[in-house]
Amino acid sequence: MPKAKIPAAMGRIYERVWVCMRCNAKLRTDSRRVLTGSVKCRRCGYKGLRQKSKERKV
């Protein structure tokens, strides 16, 4: 198996990782679905999700 494809794949995976702002559970889903409000946390049902990779509010 060629290892050259791994970095690109990793980047795409992280774009799809979201974190619940209530219980910090990680979710993998399309950002479109999150923005349309059709996705909620599996663990607690909360709809407040933030994207893990990009956002930095300090």
Nearer to Zn ion by C-beta: 6 or 42? 42
Nearer to Zn ion by C-beta: 34 or 41? 41
Closest listed residue to residue 16, CA positions, set 49, 56, 48? 49
Total interface residues for Zn ion by CB under 5 A: 8
In a 13 Å sphere around the CA of 57, the CA atoms on its Cβ side amount to 4
For the segment 1-58, give every residue that binds Zn ion (CB under 5 A).
20, 22-23, 25, 41, 43-44, 46
**Dihedral, 12, 37, 55, 23 alpha carbons, nearest 10:** -100
Residue ranges binding Zn ion (CB under 5 A): 20, 22-23, 25, 41, 43-44, 46
